[in-house]
Each structure stands twice: as C-alpha cells, then as structure tokens.
Amino acid sequence: MFRNTEHGYGLIAITLHWIVAFAFIANYALIFGREWFLAPRSDLGRTLISTHMAIGVSVIVFVALRIIWKLVDRQPSPPKGSRLEHLAASTVHLILYAVMIVIPLTGYLGTGGSARLFFLFDLPPFRETWIFTTIVEGWFGITWESFESVMDFIHKTGGARVVWVLIALHISAALYHQFVRRDNILRRMTNPRTSRFD
C-alpha cells in the first residue's frame, strides 16, 4: 500500500507526485493570472506573488522527500512500448526531476525578498544570508546583480518558455496512455492498489 510494487506506485510516491504537480500548476496559474489580469502593483497582485513564493519554497521540501523516496523505494516496471518510447519517457522524467529542483530554487535564490515556508516561517532573502555574503560574494567575488540576473534568467525565461512545454508533453503522454492506449498508466499514479498492468 505505501511502497511501490512491480506493477504500480505506492501511496507515498503517489502523494508526493501530486503535491509537487499541483504546486507547479498552482504557481503557473498564480504568476500568469497576475500578469494577464491584474495591475502589477495592486494589492491582490502582491498577494498572488507572495503566495507564489510561499508555495514555491515549500515545494522544495516535498521535492527533497520525493528524491529520497525515489532512491530508497523500488521502481515499477515500465509499460509495454518500443525502446524509443521508453527512452523518451525516462528522459522527460529525468529532466522533470531537474526542473523540480532548479525552478523553485532559482526562484528563491534570485529574488531579493523573503518567502514564507509553509505560509508560517519567514525565510530570509538569500542575498542577506551567510551563504551569499561569505561564499558567493566573499569567496567567488560574484556581485548580487550578476548572480540575480543568472537566477532570474533561469527561473523566468526557463519557467515561462521551456518548462511548461515539458510539463504539457508529460501530461499529454499520461492522458494518451490512459485514454488511447488504455494501459492503466494514469491509474497507477492515482490508485496505490493498481495491480493489473497491461
């Protein structure tokens, strides 16, 4: 029930997948909702940005748990398919793991402001932390302006131009498997008791 089996995902992998998935989708909705429908300096616009930041830093904790769990639990066998399909799926999954780390992390590292972990604890702005002042600036001599511009580029341009395409591809593949191939792929990521797997 809790652990993965040869045929499907267990409750822990499923819960972590959906927490991270909904956090990403919510963060896209918040940031683009603000950009498309609100004046940037409105009160609601500010609330949406701080919610985006709070969800973003909190998801880092779940991503860390997810990676640890992935390393300790067994992995279900892949569905039937050609070698090319297996290669495409595992490549996209690997890139999505990288995205899950890089996008929220660059969001935190690159913004000068503080964010609320789990909407409860204020994290200090990264530029005021010992890691930035002593290591990044002190040891490597990197100024905040150049550090911020690299983090910003990865977070905003990567997030807005590249990452959503990968996520859209991933969702389309899941829906294609479930409703065209009918091979239980979506069901095994929603129901820990999925034992039959074609």
Token pair 């940005």: residue: 49
CB closer to ligand HEM, 139 vs 196: 196
CB closer to ligand HEM, 115 vs 136: 115
Q: Nearest distance from residue 74's CB to ligand HEM, in Å? A: 11
Q: Of the listed pieces 80-88, 129-137, 142-150, 182-190, which binds ligand HEM according to CB under 6 A?
A: 182-190
Residue 186 as a binder of ligand HEM (CB under 6 A): the answer is: yes
Dihedral sign (CA 153, 105, 53, 161): positive
Residue 4 as a binder of ligand HEM (CB under 6 A): the answer is: no
- Cα 153 from Cα 99, distance rounded (Å): 14
* Other CB atoms within 10 A of residue 50 CB: 15
Residue 116 as a binder of ligand HEM (CB under 6 A): the answer is: no
Residue 57 as a binder of ligand HEM (CB under 6 A): the answer is: yes
Count the residues of the shown chain that bind ligand HEM, applying the rule CB under 6 A.
39
Read off φ and ψ for residue 39, nearest 5 degrees: -70, 135
Tell me whether strands 121-123 and 115-117 are parallel, antiparallel or unpaired: antiparallel
Residue 99 as a binder of ligand HEM (CB under 6 A): the answer is: yes
Residue 115 as a binder of ligand HEM (CB under 6 A): the answer is: yes
Q: Which residues are within 8 A (CB) of 198 and not within 5 positions of it... i.e. 6 or more apart?
A: 79, 80, 182, 183, 184
Which position among 14, 154, 188, 192 is part of the footprint of ligand HEM (CB under 6 A)? Answer: 188
Residue 3 as a binder of ligand HEM (CB under 6 A): the answer is: no
- Cα 135 from Cα 197, distance rounded (Å): 50
For 11, counting Cβ atoms within 10 Å of its Cβ (0-12 exposed, 13-18 middle, 19+ buried), the class is: middle
**Contact residues: ligand HEM, CB under 6 A:** 17, 20-21, 23-24, 27-28, 31, 35, 49, 52-53, 56-57, 59, 70, 93, 96-97, 99-100, 103-104, 107-108, 111, 115, 155-156, 159-160, 167, 170-171, 174, 185-186, 188-189
